[in-house]
A and B are shown apart, each in its own frame.
Chain A
Amino acid sequence: NAGVTQTPKFRILKIGQSMTLQCAQDMNHNYMYWYRQDPGMGLKLIYYSVGAGITDKGEVPNGYNVSRSTTEDFPLRLELAAPSQTSVYFCASRSPTGTGNNEQFFGPGTRLTVL
């Protein structure tokens, strides 16, 4: 299994540009999450999904959108990039609650700079 994969690894955007951060997992996990990590800080939840077609906002959703058309993929969309969105973005996935395994598995991250 490749686990959780994210592309691209790095990206520089100009203010106002848009982009999609890709995330895929091959573990057949229903639950997927997007986090951002600012320098020297912990992870903050942007959006999450509990299955295909079901998404919900996390702690810091403003400026982002998500979709979940398949179990495997959970892309994160930035429509009008702002300098405040400069961060490292992590995608994670896990098995549903009650299946025994509670850990979230993380991807390697996408480092985004908005200038």
Chain B
Amino acid sequence: GESVGLHLPTLSVQEGDNSIINCAYSNSASDYFIWYKQESGKGPQFIIDIRSNMDKRQGQRVTVLLNKTVKHLSLQIAATQPGDSAVYFCAEKSATDSWGKLQFGAGTQVVVTP
């Protein structure tokens, strides 16, 4: 999800459940998408990425889904753990950009409860 102002959307998930984090992107010319995890006081860490010629990509416990028709990206985390508590950002890169510049969304706060 996207947020306005200082209040990030928050996803509260019970430990062991699956999490789904959504992201609406803006540029239909984007050809590359990436998810980052940011723990409090740290820099963003890469989770998974996907090119626009794919609609699904799986990693370890994570899956990214891309729906270009509605410009929607989602990150699924299986069996959510306390260590998954963080802010998650999606980012996109335009196909016309040659320098790898990313446009970031505002982020979603994930809180894992025991």
Report A's interface with B, CB cutoff 8 A. Answer: 4, 31, 33, 35, 39-45, 48, 50, 56, 58, 90, 92, 94, 96-97, 102-109
**C-alpha gap A31/B41 in the complex (Å):** 24
Task: Report the Cα distance A105→B42, complex, angstroms.
Answer: 12
Instruction: Indicate if the CB atoms of A40 and B101 lie closer than 8 Å.
Output: no
On whether the beta carbons of A42 and B7 are closer than 8 Å, the reply is no
Interface positions of B from 1 to 40, Cβ below 8 Å from A: 3, 5-8, 32, 34, 36
Q: Which 4 residue pairs spanning A and B have beta carbons closest together?
A: A106-B43, A42-B104, A40-B6, A103-B46
B101 & A58 in contact (Cβ 8 Å cutoff): yes
Q: Check B44 against A97 for contact (C-beta < 8 Å).
A: no
- Please, which residue of chain A has its CB at the minimum distance from the CB of B32? A102
Q: Roughly how many angstroms separate A42 CA and B42 CA in the complex, as a whole number?
A: 14
Q: Is the CB of A43 within 8 A of B8?
A: no
Report the minimal beta-carbon distance from A25 to chain B, rounded to whole angstroms. 12
Say yes or no: B107 contacts A42, CB within 8 Å. Answer: yes
12 contacts between A and B (CB under 8 A): A31-B99, A33-B101, A40-B107, A42-B91, A42-B104, A42-B105, A42-B107, A90-B44, A94-B100, A97-B98, A103-B34, A104-B46
Quick check: is B62 within 8 A (CB to CB) of the other chain? no
